[in-house]
Amino acid sequence: MSASYRKWLKDKLEKLQAIDCYSAGASPETIAKQLGIATKQIVKLNFNENLFMPRVKQAKLMKELTEEIDLRLYPEDEQAKLREKLSLYIGAPEECLVVGNASDELIDRIVRLFVEKGESALTFSPTFSIPRLCIKRQEGDYITVPLLSNLQLDVKGMMAKFSDKTRLLYICSPNNPTSTQYKVEDVEVLAKAFPGIVILDEAYCEFADYSLVPRIKEFPNMIILRTFSKAFGLAALRLGYAVANQELAKIVREKAPLPYPVSAFTLRMGAKMLDNVDLMQQSVRQVKLERGKLIKALNEIEGVEAFDSQANFLMVNTQKLADEVNEKLLKRGIMLKKWGKILQYNNCFRVTVGLPEMNAKLVEALKQIQSD
């Protein structure tokens, strides 16, 4: 190996090591082992999963699928069949749909297609982290504008950042981690004024008040992202989809993915969930009901503030330091997503709306911690 090659490799590896990457944090198994308890005793409220989806009924559908599918074969027409069912579910033409390996993979596709080195993407802060990671890998500039103090979009502030190098606008609504669905008129103004591609991430749309999918034809530069990970409870299988005008959808569907980006098993399971969409709808109703109860119960604790939500999770701020609260919760086997400072709120957490018994443990634990 020549000296010049060794230097190139050393420099390259150092550059790659510096790339920021996603970390899921400690697993329930790890926390349980540290506490010396069974994993099933952990109260996992940190990943925005839909725990109201009936696991037994899902398992029955999976068992049916294992008897139907031949795992020796590559996917064939499963993706087309899923797009056909999705078309009926959301009311958009099949030609306007793209299926991907969760929304994350679709975000990565879109960024690789539309953002090049030296160009920029715009969003607000705080929001979902994956677009930032994808933009940075493309060596693009990632520009953020803080949300307003009421957690709404600073439309004027964002529009002031539009430039001839701004290729992508990312809007997560309902937003992760604030659980806010933004005013439809604000999203409209930004989308219609933006001189590039607009990603509207509606991952939590089923838990919210509205979707722009029925109006996608009004926004020729918009790509709406949806997922099976949240309302449909298929987080383990990684299945998402995008909705856009026919030309944009064809580009995203054909020009960026590697062959077979989604497994045949996942595609077929998605189709089965759409055939049994009532399971999702019932679980969403339960989430919304429990969400209201959890917000009320948390707001009755002195030193705790829970904000209104349009998702299957809440933003919660505590009077005590987030690190202290998080440590004491973990010692009780309760896992939340600690965010720390969000705007004027210094000790924020993102809290999944769990099953009633899980939420009761969280409420009781916070009562004890805040009164210590």
How far is C-alpha 169 from the geometric centre of its chain's CA atoms?
A: 16
Q: Looking only at Cα atoms, what is the longest distance across the chain?
A: 68
How much is the average pLDDT of 39-53?
Answer: 96
Task: Name the band, by pLDDT with cuts 50, 70 and 90, for residue 258.
Answer: confident
- What per-residue confidence (pLDDT) applies to 75? 95
Residue type, 211: S
Q: How distant, in Å, are the alpha carbons of 34, 155, 265, 284, 335 from that of 30? A: 6, 42, 29, 30, 11
CB of 169 closer than 8 Å to CB of 123: yes
Q: What SS3 class is residue 193?
A: helix
How much is the average pLDDT of 264-287?
Answer: 98
Task: Name the band, by pLDDT with cuts 50, 70 and 90, for residue 26.
Answer: confident
106-163 confidence digits (pLDDT tens): 999 999 999 999 999 999 999 999 999 999 999 999 999 999 999 999 999 999 999 9
- What per-residue confidence (pLDDT) applies to 122? 98
29-43 confidence digits (pLDDT tens): 999 999 999 999 999
Domains in the chain: ranges and CATH: 24-48+279-371 (3.90.1150.10), 55-275 (3.40.640.10)
Task: Name the band, by pLDDT with cuts 50, 70 and 90, for residue 264.
Answer: very high
Q: Which of 22-26, 42-46, 62-66, 184-188 has the lowest mean pLDDT?
A: 22-26
**Phi (first) and psi of residue 54, to 5 degrees:** -65, 110
Task: Name the band, by pLDDT with cuts 50, 70 and 90, for residue 316.
Answer: very high
Task: Name the band, by pLDDT with cuts 50, 70 and 90, for residue 5.
Answer: confident
Beta bridge partners of 340: 348
CB of 226 closer than 8 Å to CB of 240: yes
78-104 confidence digits (pLDDT tens): 999 999 999 999 999 999 999 999 999
Catalogue the E-assigned strands of the chain.
43-44, 97-100, 120-125, 141-146, 166-172, 197-201, 222-227, 240-243, 304-306, 313-318, 334-335, 337-342, 345-352
How much is the average pLDDT of 69-84?
Answer: 96
pTM listed for this prediction: 0.95
Token couple for 264: 């045949």
CB of 127 closer than 8 Å to CB of 153: no
- What's the CA gap between 15 and 13, in Å, rounded? 5
CB of 252 closer than 8 Å to CB of 60: no
